[in-house]
Amino acid sequence: FPALSAAGGDFSVQQARNRILSSLETASPDSYRPGEVIVKYKAGAVNTQAVNERIGAMTVREISGLPETALVKIPAGMSVPDAVRKFMEDPSVEYAEPNYIWHINSTIPDDTYFSQQWALHNMGNTMNSIPDADMDIPEAWDITTGSRDIVVAVVDTGIDYGHPDLGLNVWQNTDETIDNGIDDDLNGYIDDRIGWDFVNEDNDPLDDHLHGTHVSGIIGALGNNGTGVAGVNWYVRIMPLKVCDADGYCSDADIAEAIDYATTNGANIINASLGGRNYSQVVFDAVWHAANNSVLFVAAAGNDTNDNDNSPVYPSGYDVWNVISVAATDQDDRMASFSNYGATTVDVFAPGNHTLSTWPVYLFPQGYDTIEGTSMAAPHVSGLAALLMDYYRHFTTYQIKQTILTFVDKLPQLSGYVATSGRVNAYKAVSSLLTPTDLMAEPTNSITLKWSDNATGEDGYYIERRSLLDTTFSYYDKVGANTTEYIDYNVNVGETYFYRVRAFNSIGVSLYSNEASATAPNPDSGSGGGGGGCSLTGRYSDRIDLGLISVVAVMLSVLLYRRRK
């Protein structure tokens, strides 16, 4: 990287300094990290430590890839603007500036009514709502907007499969030839090309109510298509299973059959925005069968302002590991006035008040309207689960559930009402174990690894290593959260080593980073070496320090030799 031109040129040192000082005049204190500045020393500056010491600062780390540039910690009591100006006055400094805070670019779709979907992105413009009382969906969409590889079965009143915001995301049974009167896939249902109607016992799961279409739109209305609303997933396959009639009534038998159909026909998630107070063993057995086949079951907690711990509601109240029971919040991040709750039997909150979504266009030509209920909260969770299953394809269903319930927004006003005391947060969940990227291995006096820490919920990073002669990687070490560098001293001169890293937490691990390799150099005079490794932000001491063992062995040998003499 060439130094800035000292005189003339398109962008001189003085121009850079002027821009920095101009920005500094208008920058608010919350726009940069307190106690830190970034310093670019002049090329050839002999003693950068002395420059820092003149104002009582110390280097935190060198900025990777930018020569003579460092992140510096300034002394307590000194403001960032004062530190910048003091560094600028030093003749050995090219420039200094605050460590400004940036924000990710949120993915905002062009759907007509997206601004009214406060549950996904609350800007405070709906019913005098509180800004950011939402799921942080646009931030999650920066990572994934879904995939048609994931199937969500909607056990409900059916779906308007001709709706312009839903049609392309309706599940297709490609093993069935439509309208040939034959059960081509031998699943017990003739011509079930797009699901099944268990009420009328036919292959047309058309919604003659509105509820199922509304729920389906929350999960998977087409996103960024210039019309209507956006689902939590822009791309997902919705399997419509009609179990409720035009008046909204559903039977245990139909529900159980629909759950079994979803389980045996490839659904990853079942959304059940329905419920009752009577315990049904047949529905329990169907949910249990879904659990045995690793199908996640998301259910609404109910709308009676009821404590479900004292008076259970089913199927959300079934004590089966694959069930997520969902209560509803409003646009102010408070428990919705109608919502059931339960400190032990209800898992989590999700937005459910005044929710805009799709309506059947043949019943309601406008095609969109708002309704409310835990029926609307549950599909927000089902949609989030589908996003997670798309990104974390190596996760088990249990790990998906735990990720949803762990990475929530814990809010004091929700404490004690559900097991997590929180409302789902899509960004926290999806970003929790993002794959580390940009792994580099640099030969220094040893081998230094550097990578980008993308995860937001990791407990640390596993480091794996292999030599040129090894065919597989082996676990080598682990370091703490927010670590981006690691030094491996336990190397043999001239030998090439290959590395990869991945994030971990109590739930699981991320995918692996790219692989990186380096050949161990001859150590500089006085650089020592020893054994083991270290990270720049702390490490776990679970490896034997081979270098230390070597030193001790040599000392013992000398002592024994002297004793013999």
Cα distance between residue 144 and residue 382, in whole Å? 15
Q: What is the CATH number of domain 13-100?
A: 3.30.70.80
CB burial readout 470-495, b (16+ within 10 A) else e: eeeeeebbbbebebbbbbbbbbeeee
CATH class for the region spanning 437-551: mainly beta
What is residue 266's predicted lDDT score, i.e. its pLDDT? 96
Q: In what order do the strands lie in the sheet with 58-62?
A: 58-62, 69-73, 32-41, 93-100
What is residue 127's predicted lDDT score, i.e. its pLDDT? 62
- Angle of helix 374-391 relative to helix 211-220, nearest 10 degrees, comes to 30
Q: Where are the domains of the chain?
A: 13-100, 114-430, 437-551
Global pTM reads 0.76
Under-50 pLDDT residues of the chain: 1-11, 102-108, 525-565
Question: What residues are annotated to the active site?
Answer: 156, 211, 375
Fold topology of 114-430: Rossmann fold (3.40.50)
Which of 366, 364, 316, 376 minimizes the C-alpha distance to 342?
A: 316
Instruction: For residue 109, say if its preceding peptide bond is cis, omega within 30 degrees of 0.
Output: no
Q: What is the largest CA-CA distance in the chain?
A: 103
What is residue 211's predicted lDDT score, i.e. its pLDDT? 92
Alpha helical stretches, state H, 95-151:
137-141
What is residue 354's predicted lDDT score, i.e. its pLDDT? 82
What is residue 104's predicted lDDT score, i.e. its pLDDT? 30
Torsion of CA 389, 393, 396, 398, to 10 degrees: -30
Cα distance between residue 306 and residue 304, in whole Å? 5
H/E element, 440: strand 437-443
Q: Write the CB contacts of 221 (distance below 8 Å, at least 6 apart in sequence).
A: 111, 165, 166, 169, 228, 229, 230, 231, 357, 358
What is residue 285's predicted lDDT score, i.e. its pLDDT? 86
What is residue 408's predicted lDDT score, i.e. its pLDDT? 95
Computed over every residue of the chain, the mean pLDDT equals 85
Cα distance between residue 514 and residue 442, in whole Å? 15
